[in-house]
Amino acid sequence: MIRVVLPPHLRVLARTEREIELELPVEATQRAVIDALEERFPSLRGTIRDPATMRRRPFVRFFGCGEDLSHDDPDDPLPPAIIEGREPYLVVGAMAGG
Amino acid sequence: MSKVRVLVGTRKGAFVITSDGTRRDWSVSGPHFGGWEVYHLKGSPADPDRLYASQSSSWFGQVVQRSDDGGETWQPVGNEFAYSGVPGTHQWYDGTPHPWEFARVWHLEPSLDDPDTAYAGVEDAALFRTTDAGRSWQELAGLRTQCSGHSWQPGAGGMCLHTILLDPGGKGRMYAAISAAGAFRSDDGGESWRPINRGLRSPQLPDEDAEVGHCVHRIAGHPGRPELLFMQKHWDVMRSDDGGESWREVSGDLPSDFGFPIEVHAHEPETVYVVPIKSDSEHYPPEGRLRVYRSRTGGGEWEPLAEGLPQQNCYVNVLRDAMAVDALESCGVYFGTTGGQVYASSDAGDTWSAIVRDLPAVLSLEVQTLR
C-alpha cells in the first residue's frame, strides 16, 4: 500500500482527502503510482504529467523520504519505506514566482 | 422576470454575478476554482444552464469544467487537446521552426443550437471542437494546415486563438482570429479555412498588407447583420461589410486606436463599443481616464462614455474577452478590468457603476440574459 499526499489544488479537483492510499497491481515505481492515481481520479489526468509527452510538469515535484525524486527514472523502484507505507509519496506544487 | 448572469474569469478563479432584470442589485458567487487562472467561461445559447469554463495554471496545466446548473456546481471534463496528425512546426520568436505545443484554452464558444457542442480556441493557436459536452476534443486542423500555420509566429502575448464567432445563418460559416496571425473564415463548419485580412495594414510587418501575420485582437458582430463585422486590431479599429472579404479602417476620431475588446449593441448593429488604450506598451487608458467609446454610425465618429468611470489616476487595462452586452430592452454593457472592477451600464453606456470591485485581475467577461 502506497500513501500519496496531494497538493491542495489537486485535492480540490479530485474531491479527496490530503492523503490517499493506493494498492498497486504492479511493481511500485513512480510511473505506476501516477498511473494508479489517474485511474482512480480521472480529473487528475493531465495535471501532474503533460498528456502529450507523459513527462512531469515543470512545476510539479515528487518527494519521498526527505529526498527529491523528481529527476529519478520513473520506472525505478520506489524507496522501500514508501513501498511499505512507512513514508508517504508527496506530489508537490513547486515554489515558483517571486 | 428576466435575469442577467455575468460570468467573470480572473487570474485567481471564476465569479458568477447575478441580478434580476432591473440590474440594480447584484449577487456575487465565487471564487470558483480559486487560485487557478480562468481564461474564459461561457454559457450555451441553446441551454443557458450549460456552462463551460477554461481553468489553467502554470503548475497543473489545463482543466475544462462544465456546469449543468448555471454555475451552481461544476465537474471536470476532458482536458486532452492533441493536435491532429503530425502537427509539424510554426515559427519561433527567433525565426526557427518550433513544434506546436498546447499551453491553454483561451476561449470557449458553445454552439448556437446544441449544448453538447462547443469550440475551443487554444495556444499554440488551433481550434478544437467537442460534440460530447466536453468529454473529448478534436482539432479542426484545416485552420492550421490551409492557412500557412507553419509561418505563424507568436506575439508578445503568445500565439493564441482568442476569437471564435459563429454565424447564426445556419450555413456553417464561422470566424476565428489569432494573435499575430490574423482573421480566418470557414464556410463549412470549420473543416476548411482561408485568411480574410484584405484591407488590414500593419507597419510592424515587413509587408504591411500581408495575407497573414496581422495582430487581430478581437472581432465582434451582430446576429441580425451577419455580414457586418467589427475588429479591434493591435492598432486600428476596422469594419467589414462583406463577411471579412475586405476591411476598412473606422478608427475616426478615437483618442487612440489601440485596444483589446470590441463589442456591438444587442439591438443596433451599427452601435459599437471600444476601450481605447494608450499604446502597445502603455496598456492603460489615455490620460489616466477610463472611457468607453461608442459609435452609433458603425465607426468613424465616436463619443466618450465616462459617467461613473474613474477619470483620474486610472491605469487599468481591459482585456480582449472582458466586454459583453446583455439583450434586455435597454441594452446593458459590461466590462472587467485588470484592476478587478466589473463595470456595468444599463443604458447602453450612458452611465456606469461598478457592480463589484477588488476581484483578481479580470481576464474575461460574458453575459447571459435569462428569460
B237-264 per-position pLDDT tens digit: 999 999 999 999 999 999 999 999 999 9
Total CB pairs under 8 A between chain A and B:
44
Count of CA atoms in the C-beta half-sphere (13 A) of B152: 32
- For the residues B85-110, what does the mean pLDDT come to? 93
The answer to whether residue B87 scores a pLDDT higher than 90 is: no
Which CATH number is B40-333's, of 2.40.170.20, 2.130.10.10, 3.90.170.10, 3.40.50.20? Answer: 2.130.10.10
Q: In 3-state terms, what secondary structure has residue B146?
A: helix
DSSP letters, B225-288, are: EEEEEEEEESB-EEEESSTTS--EE--TT-S--B-S-EEE-SS-TT-EEE--BS-SS--S-GGG
The answer to whether residue B143 scores a pLDDT higher than 90 is: yes
The answer to whether residue A97 scores a pLDDT higher than 80 is: no
Instruction: Retrieve residue B296's grid coordinates.
Output: 452609433
Q: Which of A15, A16, A41, A45 is the best substitution to test chain B (most B C-beta atoms within 10 A)?
A: A45
> Which of B35, B61, B82 is the closest to A47 by Cβ?
B61
- Residue B158 — pLDDT band, cuts 50, 70, 90? confident
Looking up cell 451599427 gives B270
Express as a percent the part of chain B with pLDDT over 70.
100
**Do B61 and A45 make contact, defined as CB atoms within 8 angstroms?**
no
The Cα–Cα gap between B41 and B11 comes to: 13
Checking B249-256 for CB contacts under 8 A at 24+ apart, the result is: B249/B199, B249/B201, B250/B295, B250/B298, B250/B299, B250/B300, B251/B299, B252/B295, B252/B299, B252/B300, B252/B301, B252/B302, B253/B300, B253/B301, B253/B302, B254/B293, B254/B302, B255/B286, B255/B291, B255/B293, B255/B304, B256/B286
User: What pLDDT is attached to residue B243?
Assistant: 97
Three-state SS annotation for chain A: CEEEECCHHHHHHHCCCCEEEECCCCCCEHHHHHHHHHHHCHHHCCCCECCCCCCECCCEEEEECCEECCCCCCCCECCHHHHCCCCCEEEEECCCCC
In this predicted model, what pLDDT tens digit does every residue of B331-363 receive, in sequence order? 999 999 999 999 999 999 999 999 999 999 999
**Do B35 and A10 make contact, defined as CB atoms within 8 angstroms?**
no
Interchain CB contact of A11 with B (< 8 Å) = no
Which residues touch B31 (CB under 8 Å, ≥6 apart)?
Answer: B10, B12, B13, B14, B15, B360
The answer to whether residue A13 scores a pLDDT higher than 70 is: yes
The Cα–Cα gap between B184 and B197 comes to: 8
- For the residues B26-30, what does the mean pLDDT come to? 97
Interchain CB contact of A60 with B (< 8 Å) = yes
- Closest Cα partner for B309 from B335, B274, B278? B335
- Residue B156 — pLDDT band, cuts 50, 70, 90? confident
Express as a percent the part of chain B with pLDDT over 90.
92
Is the backbone peptide bond immediately before B124 cis, with ω within 30 degrees of 0? Answer: yes
**Do A57 and B60 make contact, defined as CB atoms within 8 angstroms?**
yes
Q: Which residues of B touch A57 (CB under 8 A)?
A: 59-61
Q: Which residues of A touch B102 (CB under 8 A)?
A: 52
| Sequence letter at residue B315 | Y
For chain A, what are the domain ranges?
2-93
Interchain CB contact of A54 with B (< 8 Å) = no
The topology under which CATH files domain A2-93 is: Ubiquitin-like (UB roll) (3.10.20)
In this predicted model, what pLDDT tens digit does every residue of B261-296 receive, in sequence order? 999 999 999 999 999 999 999 999 999 999 999 999
> Which of B58, B62, B80 is the closest to A96 by Cβ?
B58
Task: Give B84: exposed, middle or buried? Use CB within 10 Å, 0-12, 13-18, 19+.
Answer: middle
The Cα–Cα gap between B54 and B36 comes to: 10
Interchain CB contact of A13 with B (< 8 Å) = yes
